[in-house]
Amino acid sequence: MTLRISVIGTGYLGVTHAACMASLGFTVIGIDINAEKIAQLSAGILPFYEPGLEELLNSELAEGRLSFSSDISSAADCDVHFICVGTPQVKDGLAADVSYVDTSIRTLAAVAKSGSLIVGKSTVPVGTAERLRNDILKINQEIDLAWNPEFLRESFAIEDTLHPNRIVVGVANDRAEAILKAVYAENLAEGTPWIRADLPTSELVKVAANSFLATKISFINAMAEVCEAAGGDVTVLAEAIGYDPRIGHKFLGAGIGFGGGCLPKDLRGFMARSKELGADRALDFLREIDAINLRARVRVIELVRRDLSDDLVGKRIAILGASFKPESDDVRDSPALDIAAQIQAAGAIVSIYDPKAIESARRSFPALSYAGSIKECLTDADLVLHLTEWKEFQSIDPREYISIVRNPIMIDGRNKLDRDLWQKAGWTFRALGRSAKN
Ligand code: UGA
């Protein structure tokens, strides 16, 4: 029997999961309370940018395996329900807001058929799954809840969903695990590591993984601060330590640090939850990880000030990049836009160019100015900042633009540009964690 699957919440995670499950041959319905979003998705329009996803959405709609609805009772006859709603940071603290998860699971439990399995994918504070499982059992004893954390990266979402490097399932019994094994049969056949855990461990795996990744980035950014003080070069340091396989080269890219809808909020939510549990000492270090990360944004602004005699008023600053990472139009907690806003608040005239994120940036930061091309962005600039490492920026020929800027000063906030190339072309080149050598 082919499983019928529902996906509750059609944001970034939900649409990707729904389209990928459909591509495996399952019949999938995506549910969201936002009727406008449902209308767009039903018409094959993806409300955000993710490489390959709009194509997959359209092919699965055309095959008839994928549909969308704003009515949760349309999910009533599904066998498995994936919960993919958001858990943003609360407005007045560090904790994660789980109200969308609570509401969607309770509403679903009231309409779901007996024997079905609800599977949480949203990132939640440890203890949420057990609490909700007890709530569901009070509504219908024949419905079960499992947790199956998600590790997909934006801009690699399809690949990470179809071929994850591990599958973690938090289950309370063998039946729930057997249903999830049927969903992920192809991955099991491929040999993907399968980890069965209890509910709290499965919730913790997710926040522990994101905290570790954040720690790696802040570690190298702390080294960048020391390199700056000592006249060293953090890019050489990162390359050298990364050859030790216990350390590895990945996530040692020094620069303006991490942003996005996950790493910052997850490590804050983890700290808040550990405090509630009385284990806050254990995660004290994450406070420093967060602080190092935010300091990287301040350090790049200090470099700008140094090059412009500490006076930003009326200076034209060109900013390359708006999204929190390349190949994405996501600007949630984007370091690039945070820096742009701070520079503008200090009196500078900013001009921002991004290959994909101008529209989303304009929605979040309407008071900033945006350019339609690299050339327009750089025209008459007193200084250029490279803040999101799109490939397009790495292939810029610095000779081509030297005559259109007012001052040829480039500050590379991502350590991805070729310093020699820029210097040979006549630019003053600076980067975080690297001595000036000018
Ligand atoms: C992150 C995790 O990598 C995923 O495994 C996880 O599933 C996801 O959060 C989530 O919780 O949903 P994502 O937010 O897409 O994925 O972004 P990352 O690729 O982790 O990058 C996060 C930030 O770190 C970006 O701003 C990036 O520019 C920055 N970064 C990354 C660095 O500053 N240096 C690096 O070396 C690597």
The mean of the pLDDT values for the chain is 96
Residues 324 and 340: their CA atoms lie apart, in Å, by: 13
Residue 335 CA, ligand 1 centroid: distance in Å: 12
| Average pLDDT score over residue span 291-296 | 98
Q: Whose CA is nearest to atom 12 of ligand 1?
A: 262
Q: Whose CA is nearest to atom 29 of ligand 1?
A: 258
What is the β-pairing status of strands 144-147 and 117-120?
Answer: parallel
Residues 398 and 419: their CA atoms lie apart, in Å, by: 10
pLDDT in tens, 7-58: 999 999 999 999 999 999 999 999 999 999 999 999 999 999 999 999 999 9
Q: Whose CA is nearest to atom 33 of ligand 1?
A: 257
Q: Give the distance from CA 294 to its chain's centroid.
A: 16
Q: For ligand 1, what atom is nearest to the CA of residue 151?
A: 7
Confidence at residue 438, expressed as pLDDT on a 0 to 100 scale? 42
- % of the chain exceeding 70 in pLDDT: 99
Identify the active-site residue in 78, 227, 262, 377: 262
Q: For ligand 1, what atom is nearest to the CA of residue 214?
A: 24
Residues 88 and 75: their CA atoms lie apart, in Å, by: 25
Instruction: List the domain boundaries for the chain.
Output: 4-197, 232-431
Residue 134 CA, ligand 1 centroid: distance in Å: 33
| Average pLDDT score over residue span 325-337 | 97
Residues 312 and 236: their CA atoms lie apart, in Å, by: 32
Question: Is the CB of 260 within 6 Å of ligand 1?
Answer: yes
Residue 319 CA, ligand 1 centroid: distance in Å: 21
Q: Is the pLDDT of residue 369 over 70?
A: yes
Residue 121 CA, ligand 1 centroid: distance in Å: 18
User: Which pTM value belongs to this model?
Assistant: 0.96
Burial (0-12, 13-18, 19+ Cβ within 10 Å), 369: middle
Return the best residue to mutate from 85, 156, 213 for the ligand 1 pocket (most ligand atoms within 8 A of CB).
Answer: 213
Q: Assign 50 to helix, strand or coil.
A: coil
Torsion of CA 175, 180, 183, 188, to 10 degrees: -110
Q: Assign 429 to helix, strand or coil.
A: strand
Q: Assign 367 to helix, strand or coil.
A: coil
Residue 263 CA, ligand 1 centroid: distance in Å: 7
Q: In the annotation, is 262 catalytic? A: yes
Question: Is the CB of 269 within 6 Å of ligand 1?
Answer: no
Question: Is the CB of 251 within 6 Å of ligand 1?
Answer: yes
Name the H helices within 234-283: 234-242, 263-276
Q: At what angle do helices 234-242 and 199-230 cross, to 10 degrees?
A: 130
Confidence at residue 192, expressed as pLDDT on a 0 to 100 scale? 98
> What phi and psi values does residue 428 have, to the nearest 5 degrees?
-80, 125
Q: Is the pLDDT of residue 437 over 80?
A: no
> In terms of Cα–Cα distance, which of 123, 173, 178 is closest to 148?
123
Contact 336, 351 (CB under 8 A): no
Question: Is the CB of 259 within 6 Å of ligand 1?
Answer: yes
| Average pLDDT score over residue span 87-112 | 94
Number of C-beta neighbours around residue 380 at 10 A: 12
Q: Would you list the DSSP string of 200-236?
A: HHHHHHHHHHHHHHHHHHHHHHHHHHHHHHHT-BHHH
Fold of 232-431: Rossmann fold (3.40.50)
> In terms of Cα–Cα distance, which of 90, 88, 108 is closest to 32?
108
Q: Which residues of 235-244 are buried (b: 16+ CB within 10 A; e: fewer)?
A: bebbeebeee
Report long-range pairs for 405-409 (Cβ below 8 Å, ≥24 apart): 405/318, 405/378, 405/379, 405/380, 405/381, 406/316, 406/380, 406/381, 406/382, 407/381, 407/382, 407/383, 409/307, 409/382, 409/383, 409/384
Number of C-beta neighbours around residue 361 at 10 A: 23
Contact 297, 335 (CB under 8 A): yes
Residues 412 and 231: their CA atoms lie apart, in Å, by: 17
Residue 153 CA, ligand 1 centroid: distance in Å: 7
pLDDT in tens, 137-195: 999 999 999 999 999 999 999 999 999 999 999 999 999 999 999 999 999 999 999 99
Return the best residue to mutate from 154, 325, 389 for the ligand 1 pocket (most ligand atoms within 8 A of CB).
Answer: 325
Return the best residue to mutate from 49, 159, 241, 258 for the ligand 1 pocket (most ligand atoms within 8 A of CB).
Answer: 258
Confidence at residue 105, expressed as pLDDT on a 0 to 100 scale? 96
Question: Is the CB of 16 within 6 Å of ligand 1?
Answer: no
Q: Is the pLDDT of residue 211 over 70?
A: yes
Contact 323, 260 (CB under 8 A): no
Identify the residue whose tokens are 């020929």: 397
Q: For ligand 1, what atom is nearest to the CA of residue 254?
A: 34
Return the best residue to mutate from 263, 292, 295, 414 for the ligand 1 pocket (most ligand atoms within 8 A of CB).
Answer: 263
Residue 316 CA, ligand 1 centroid: distance in Å: 30
Torsion of CA 58, 260, 92, 47, to 10 degrees: -20
Q: For ligand 1, what atom is nearest to the CA of residue 389?
A: 28
Residues 145 and 126: their CA atoms lie apart, in Å, by: 15
CATH number for 4-197: choose from 3.30.465.10, 2.60.40.10, 3.40.50.720, 3.10.20.30: 3.40.50.720
Residue 390 CA, ligand 1 centroid: distance in Å: 15
Residues 6+ apart with CB under 8 A from 321: 336, 352, 353, 354, 386, 387, 388, 389, 390, 393, 414
Question: Is the CB of 124 within 6 Å of ligand 1?
Answer: no
Number of C-beta neighbours around residue 292 at 10 A: 20
